Structure 1
Amino acid sequence: MTEIVTHEELARAEEGSARHTQTGPTGPALDPEAAKDAALLANSPTRYFNRELSWLAFNERVLAEASNETYPLLERLRFLSISGSNIDEFLMVRVAGLAGQVRRKIEETSIDGLTPSQALAATHEKVLELEQIQQDTWATLKNELGKADIHIVGEEELDAEREQWLRDYFVTDIMPVITPQAIDPAHPFPFVANQGIGVLFSLTREADDAPVMEMVLIPAPLPRFVRVPGEEAAWISIEDMICRNAERLFPGFRVNGYGVFRILRDSDLEIEEDAEDLVRYFRSAIQRRRRGLVIVLQLQGKFDPAAEDMLRNQLGLDQALIMKTEGLIGFSGLSAICDEDRPELKFEPYSPRYPERILEHDGDIFAAIREKDIIIQHPYESFEVVIDFLRQAARDPDVVAIKQTLYRAGKQSAIISALIAAAEQGKSVTAVVEIKARFDEEQNLLWAGQLERAGVQVIYGFIDWKTHAKISMVVRRETEGYRTYCHFGTGNYHPITARIYTDLSYFTAEPAAGRDAGKLFNFITGYVEPEATELLSISPMSLRANLYNLIDVEIANARAGKPAAIWAKMNSLTDPDLIDRLYAASQAGVDIDLVIRGICCLRPGIEGLSENIAVKSVIGRFLEHVRVWAFANGADLPSRQAKVFMTSADGMSRNLDRRVEIMIPMRNDTVHDQVLDQVMLANLLDTEQSWLVAEDGSSQRVGETENPFNLHRYFMTNPSLSGRGASLASGRKVPKLSLRRGNI
């Protein structure tokens, strides 16, 4: 049973199902009158899906993978954990933002016509529905884990040896860390950290029968789940461990009852335009975020009514969501159990390939790039080549300068080490460290300090805009003069996520690319806005306009009776002007196929508005993160005539107007064909991991087809995109993808 409570009473959500093959609608129904008239609909806010509800629809697709019986059991559990982590972040940022607007009595509507209070109510209801699906899914997985000899221990007794281990572990590893605190007028209510879990105990002191309420907050360093030693796996949550040892924790008291709770706080950071010192401001803002307003209170078990009232009063729950459940709280913690050493219950291990082209040049990355541009696709091809690019630059005596953007680099970054090594070798090294990268602000400040101490020139970019472009630039002294080698990416310089996110890395020594990259760095470091670029489109200056021009060419071609089509792949599409441009293209007869993993505010398949637009979402073993645009340019896609672009930007207003992003054309014939005929086509042809988005925002699995195709399996089992020569010479055939018209 789940309960929702806000400042205003909301309707109860319908109970969800753990086994989902279709998601629900993501926004208000189409205006019936507008739907009859395309011209009227084109000016109605109902032509857009609600952003928050569309994101929740994406996470519902992620959650559905936890019920996908074609996946190994522990991988299904991992999807449940991921869905929990996703929803936590969504609540801490997006829902917290809506709640803040309601508190400030803001009535401005979103692009879909909802006021903040309406959007908050609808979002709370959908979150509640997903929470119930999570609980149902967990109950199913817990049962299946037990059948596989992985047991989740609650209050039930174990054998004597394991019970003794639990008691000893509690005494030696938990009791010294936790601090019980009485809740009464003499003891102030303790601060509960963001994502903090606590247990409230209702006790009676045996000496005088006086009622006592005690709180135990679980410190973050303690593991969320503990594995009990033994050949047959048994895991217990830290809160259950504390509850079952309550009598040891409170000698001289009778335990009448207990309840577990968890809170989420507003974790978004607002940037003040007049901040005098951005680094100092962010250090202060990070501290403030830890004390943000409570936006979610989760209650587990049968709470004492007085304890529940006390929590509500002390936490200040204005516009907060309160959920009660008999099941688990904090699904993200299940990731620990996914590490159980049971390889038969996990995906078969996969080792990324090192690009053949570079191996053919004995590991000399610069020589390989000089010969021809290189495109590689992570995680099928190793991210190590990106690190080696910088390592080679660091030790090469002919390299004079390195310039690098850093958005998210991870906690153990070989990229940082390479930049430090280069600076210590006396090279000119510039690092643009984006300290506004959400939830990585603290780590990036740490990296910035280490880089500065090594002699790297650290730039923090713009106050108003995040630097989201992924560029590495190496200037090398050669016989013919200075040559600039560039790496452009769709993903972050993060070795860990590069093993699970699909991204493109593009290496080129084309002089025009080097000149444009230099202009971009000068823009970031010195505010020198480039008057013109040769290859790069840069937001917030030219990317939007250039994208519109490309769409307009397709519209003109369609009206002239020429082939006209657009293929695009991105993570999110929310910008209303870009969506309207795509609607206009559809109305002109342009065929548009979009692969959008996450948020999509565009309604596809509506007669008179978007009947020529199809939207699909790919959810599978790897997180789809590639961003590509392809335009037919007067010929049927795919063809050599098409214009193909790789970009760091999603189709969101923030990416086009408030971030530094890049888009670069794939002009080399080989690279062009690899991105268009392989990466994009494989995404469009995929059937086994694809969901089709309907005009009401619901999603439907593609399901069984006559010719099933799994894009992840295709790239895992075939030679890499780059330097296929050696693979082909050995007789290894690469299956050629072909488009079956009408089947996308």
Structure 2
Amino acid sequence: MRTRESRAGPTNAPGANPEPTEVSDGSHETPQERYFNRELSWLAFNSRVLAEAEEERFPLLERLRFLSISASNLDEFTMIRIAGLEGLASRGIEETSIEGRTPRQQLAAIRKKVVALEKRQQKALAALRRELDAEGIQIPDIAELSEKKQAWCRAYFESDILPLITPQAIDPSHPFPFVQNLGMGLIFRVARPAPLPELMEMVLIPSGAPRFVRVPGRKAIYVAIEKLIVEYAALLFPGFEILGDGHFRVLRDSDMEVEEEAEDLVRVFRSAIQRRRRGRAVLLELDDDCDPAAETLLRDCFDIEAAMVVKSAGMLGLHDLDAICDEPRPDLKFTPFAPRYPERVLEHDGDCFAAIREKDIVIHHPFESFDVVVDFLQQAAHDPSVVSIKQTLYRAGDQSPVIAALIDAAQNGKAVTAVVELKARFDEERNLRWASELERAGVQVIYGILELKTHAKVSLIVRREEEGYRTYCHFGTGNYHPVNAKIYTDLSYFTADAAYGRDAAKVFNYITGYVEPHEMEHLAISPLDLRERLYALIEAETANAREGRPAAIWLKMNSLTEKGTIDRLYEASQAGVQVVLVVRGICSLRAGVPRLSDNITVKSIIGRFLEHSRIWVFGNGAMLPNEEAKVFITSADAMGRNLTRRVEVAVPIANRTVHDQVLEQVMLANILDTERSWKLMPDGEYLRQTIGEDGFNCHDYFMSNPSLSGRGAAIEEHDVPELSLMRKPS
């Protein structure tokens, strides 16, 4: 049996529940009238990201960064989602999506949107180049440079680029070379001395070479490496006449195939990573001025019948522009801010355990420092009273202090268990490396359940204290990744509540030993009962509305595609439940449709930080916000893969202080935001919300106000503006 990581069907993992039951409201809408296509909704999300690059009120280098992010997002979408649909179409699979399209029908609609999005990206780049030029940052052609700078470029080409590149003739004795995924190259049509025929020569750009070279000088001048190679190609082909050239880039199918019966999972993943670099070509990008003969050769050799071809009048590989964003021009970037560290931990002289023991703490990243998560683990690693540490690892970054803390703990004699998820897309190789280092240090490394991704973010520390053993838990909505924690908005919840500790231990036992948990006290786990808990909470609000009681649902997530959840939200809306959804990315639910979703509002927040925290709120018999509302944080989105093919955790917030802070600060600020919000319309279009004197920016609010717990005595020194649905916050 084989599984494709993102295309697998329902899991047969131990304890996994069957597919959700259908919910019908008795209406006769067609699927296209009830749902939006997942892929088109994602493209709409990336269009909103690109809109940030077009936002004239943003600093220029930040706009350039958003353009780079938009391009990187589109690359991943192509390598995974388009590749997956093409694979289904090529095998003649006619299974339809949630709104009723076959793979071929989806591809036809997607390709039009992708081409339009790429043209818009090039238009945005052209505008940004003009504005950056006025600020002393240029991305020019070589001919636009002064003679002195051209001389420097030539010398740099000879010393730093020429030794790296290798021309390869393409003829019967020199077959077309393999171009790896995300590979970029140049192809030259050259004339040799008579009577030799013309020849095609390919030059692949080494992946380790810098894409942009900064020319020395006060003005920031960045020259693309492909421009240098074309300009000085005569030095590469002495005695040849260059008749034409072309620049190209290829994207390949990057999903992973893994044998479920594999005896050695690490070995299998290493092989799968190598295969991914050589996957089927999905997209061939060409520059608009590509030599016709070179273009014909490229189209033939990359099998364009199976691949999408896009010709661009601008620059290829726009994701590389992020290197220019590092130019030290603070006047062209967002004003920096320093995240605050929890004062309550400082009041306990940095003792995380003492602070958590006093009262539960919730941390809102990146506005509040991720350092407290690292310190929590580092303190555990060096505390002689700590007996054991259990930790899930989905993404941890390159220079991971979390990994270092676990290694220190093992070397200090603690019993350390790390659940390392090998199936974290595009982090598989890094996670294999971390797993090896952890094992060498004496950490017990578990790779989880093959059929499921372990996506839950949980730390469990057991400490020997005077009263006996005490557990300390950390539950997160985001990864243990210190770089992402500076960009992603996420929640970290720390508690010493024994019941949460018992539940967390059962989660680890399920992952490491297939031991299904019984009688969980607080947590819900996917794929066992998290979906059912979500359904039940929605249905309870629906029942409240039908019985004439106030009923409201607020959900914050990254994506909403799971049909069972959507149908229950429709049913809730029809019963009169007031539903507000903050969905950053994909949303297959149609909002505001008469007699279907009149009472549902969907908004997406795109701004300085990437919204990533997942929060569920249910009115529980009163309108929101209220003290008795049911509040959860979770690692899961409302997608089929999260609810049926991943290990996820939903954590109810019982502590009164934390409950109110998550509800009345984080969630309410997201509801009230206007300046970075887009509203989903019934036809699937997103409209940017009005920005004016009364506008509210939730990111600015959190940067300006210490917002959550752990404030200790410092709360008396800050007048945190109270948020209210009855008025716009100042």
Asked if these proteins are the same fold (TM beyond 0.5), I'd say yes
In structure 2, the residue matched to 1:392 is 379
| Distance (whole Å) between structure 1 residues aligned to residue 547 and residue 28 of structure 2 | 26
In structure 2, the residue matched to 1:16 is none
In structure 1, the residue matched to 2:719 is 733
Q: 1:532 aligns with which of 519, 538, 556?
A: 519
Q: 2:297 aligns with which of 291, 307, 310?
A: 310
Q: Which amino acid aligns with 2:530?
A: L
Q: Which amino acid aligns with 2:395?
A: R
In structure 1, the residue matched to 2:649 is 662
Contact residue 353 and residue 720 of structure 1 kept, 8 A = no
Contact residue 489 and residue 610 of structure 2 kept, 8 A = yes
Write out per-residue CA displacement over residues 595-647 of structure 1, whole angstroms, 9 at most, x where no aligned residue. 00000000000011101000000000000001000000011100111000000
Aligned: 1:360 with 2:347: yes
In structure 1, the residue matched to 2:626 is 639
In structure 1, the residue matched to 2:169 is 182
Are the structure 2 counterparts of residues 302 and 583 from structure 1 closer, same or farther at C-alpha, using a change threshold of 3 Å? same
In structure 2, the residue matched to 1:611 is 598
Contact residue 597 and residue 617 of structure 1 kept, 8 A = yes
Are the structure 2 counterparts of residues 41 and 616 from structure 1 closer, same or farther at C-alpha, using a change threshold of 3 Å? farther
Write out per-residue CA displacement over residues 382-434 of structure 1, whole angstroms, 9 at most, x where no aligned residue. 10100000000000000000000000001110000000000000000000000
How far is 1:436 from its partner?
0.5
Q: 1:120 aligns with which of 107, 111, 134?
A: 107
In structure 2, the residue matched to 1:295 is 282
Q: Which amino acid aligns with 1:347?
A: F
Q: Which amino acid aligns with 2:673?
A: D
Are the structure 2 counterparts of residues 308 and 700 from structure 1 closer, same or farther at C-alpha, using a change threshold of 3 Å? same
SS at match of 2:309: strand
In structure 2, the residue matched to 1:434 is 421
How far is 1:182 from its partner?
0.8
SS at match of 2:257: coil
In structure 1, the residue matched to 2:249 is 262
| Distance (whole Å) between structure 2 residues aligned to residue 723 and residue 108 of structure 1 | 51
In structure 2, the residue matched to 1:29 is none
In structure 2, the residue matched to 1:275 is 262
| Distance (whole Å) between structure 2 residues aligned to residue 269 and residue 637 of structure 1 | 43
SS at match of 2:110: helix
Write out per-residue CA displacement over residues 175-216 of structure 1, whole angstroms, 9 at most, x where no aligned residue. 101001111111011110111110011111145463121110
SS at match of 1:153: coil
Q: 2:635 aligns with which of 648, 659, 671?
A: 648
| Distance (whole Å) between structure 2 residues aligned to residue 658 and residue 209 of structure 1 | 60
SS at match of 1:271: strand
In structure 1, the residue matched to 2:15 is none
Q: 1:135 aligns with which of 110, 122, 132?
A: 122
Q: 2:448 aligns with which of 439, 461, 473?
A: 461
Counterparts in 2 of 1:33-72, with a 5 A limit?
Answer: 39-42=26-29, 44-72=31-59
SS at match of 1:262: strand
Q: Which amino acid aligns with 2:480?
A: Y
Contact residue 38 and residue 608 of structure 1 kept, 8 A = no
In structure 2, the residue matched to 1:515 is 502
Write out per-residue CA displacement over residues 526-568 of structure 1, whole angstroms, 9 at most, x where no aligned residue. 1100122000000000101111111111011101111100000
Q: 1:594 aligns with which of 571, 581, 591?
A: 581
How far is 1:706 from its partner?
5.4
How far is 1:47 from its partner?
0.6
Contact residue 46 and residue 113 of structure 1 kept, 8 A = no
Runs of 4+ aligned structure 1 residues displaced above 6 Å come to none
How far is 1:320 from its partner?
1.2
Q: Which amino acid aligns with 1:200?
A: I
In structure 2, the residue matched to 1:77 is 64
Q: 1:687 aligns with which of 658, 674, 682?
A: 674
| Distance (whole Å) between structure 2 residues aligned to residue 96 and residue 282 of structure 1 | 20
Write out per-residue CA displacement over residues 155-191 of structure 1, whole angstroms, 9 at most, x where no aligned residue. 4242232112101110111010100111111101111
| Distance (whole Å) between structure 1 residues aligned to residue 290 and residue 716 of structure 2 | 69
Q: 1:443 aligns with which of 417, 430, 446?
A: 430
SS at match of 1:445: helix
How far is 1:705 from its partner?
4.5
| Distance (whole Å) between structure 2 residues aligned to residue 157 and residue 627 of structure 1 | 49
Contact residue 620 and residue 628 of structure 2 kept, 8 A = yes
In structure 1, the residue matched to 2:191 is 204
Q: Which amino acid aligns with 2:534?
A: L
How far is 1:373 from its partner?
0.3
Write out per-residue CA displacement over residues 132-167 of structure 1, whole angstroms, 9 at most, x where no aligned residue. 100111111111111111111214242232112101
SS at match of 2:720: coil
Q: Which amino acid aligns with 2:87?
A: G
| RMSD of Structure 2 on Structure 1 (CA) | 1.4
Contact residue 403 and residue 429 of structure 1 kept, 8 A = yes
Q: Which amino acid aligns with 2:441?
A: A
Write out per-residue CA displacement over residues 94-115 of structure 1, whole angstroms, 9 at most, x where no aligned residue. 0000000111011111111000
How far is 1:312 from its partner?
1.6
| Distance (whole Å) between structure 2 residues aligned to residue 700 and residue 680 of structure 1 | 21
Q: Which amino acid aligns with 1:173?
A: D
Tell me the matched-pair count.
Answer: 706
Q: 1:486 aligns with which of 473, 490, 493?
A: 473
SS at match of 2:143: coil
In structure 1, the residue matched to 2:152 is 165
How far is 1:255 from its partner?
1.2
Moved more, 290-299 or 303-312: 303-312
Contact residue 399 and residue 427 of structure 1 kept, 8 A = yes
| Distance (whole Å) between structure 2 residues aligned to residue 221 and residue 680 of structure 1 | 43
Contact residue 204 and residue 211 of structure 1 kept, 8 A = yes
| Distance (whole Å) between structure 1 residues aligned to residue 682 and residue 431 of structure 2 | 41
How far is 1:42 from its partner?
4.8
How far is 1:46 from its partner?
3.0
Contact residue 142 and residue 223 of structure 2 kept, 8 A = no
Q: Which amino acid aligns with 1:657?
A: T
How far is 1:681 from its partner?
0.3
Moved more, 236-245 or 199-208: 199-208
- 5+ residue gaps in structure 1? 1-36
In structure 2, the residue matched to 1:557 is 544
How far is 1:233 from its partner?
1.1
In structure 2, the residue matched to 1:505 is 492
Contact residue 478 and residue 635 of structure 2 kept, 8 A = yes
| Distance (whole Å) between structure 2 residues aligned to residue 569 and residue 596 of structure 1 | 6
In structure 1, the residue matched to 2:10 is none
Aligned: 1:372 with 2:330: no
Q: 2:237 aligns with which of 244, 247, 250?
A: 250
Q: Which amino acid aligns with 2:282?
A: I
Write out per-residue CA displacement over residues 633-691 of structure 1, whole angstroms, 9 at most, x where no aligned residue. 01110011100000000000000001000001111010000000000000010010000
How far is 1:279 from its partner?
1.2
Contact residue 719 and residue 727 of structure 1 kept, 8 A = no
How far is 1:303 from its partner?
2.1
Moved more, 310-319 or 577-586: 310-319
How far is 1:341 from its partner?
1.2
Q: Which amino acid aligns with 2:613?
A: V
Contact residue 687 and residue 705 of structure 1 kept, 8 A = no
Contact residue 25 and residue 571 of structure 2 kept, 8 A = no
How far is 1:729 from its partner?
2.3
Moved more, 564-573 or 210-219: 210-219
Are the structure 2 counterparts of residues 211 and 248 from structure 1 closer, same or farther at C-alpha, using a change threshold of 3 Å? same
In structure 1, the residue matched to 2:179 is 192
| Distance (whole Å) between structure 1 residues aligned to residue 138 and residue 692 of structure 2 | 37
Aligned: 1:152 with 2:150: no
Aligned: 1:324 with 2:300: no
Contact residue 207 and residue 252 of structure 1 kept, 8 A = no
Q: Which amino acid aligns with 1:94?
A: R
Q: Which amino acid aligns with 1:658?
A: R
Contact residue 627 and residue 649 of structure 1 kept, 8 A = yes
| Distance (whole Å) between structure 1 residues aligned to residue 26 and residue 122 of structure 2 | 44
SS at match of 1:544: helix
Aligned: 1:219 with 2:206: yes
Are the structure 2 counterparts of residues 322 and 60 from structure 1 closer, same or farther at C-alpha, using a change threshold of 3 Å? same
Contact residue 178 and residue 219 of structure 1 kept, 8 A = yes
Contact residue 361 and residue 368 of structure 1 kept, 8 A = yes
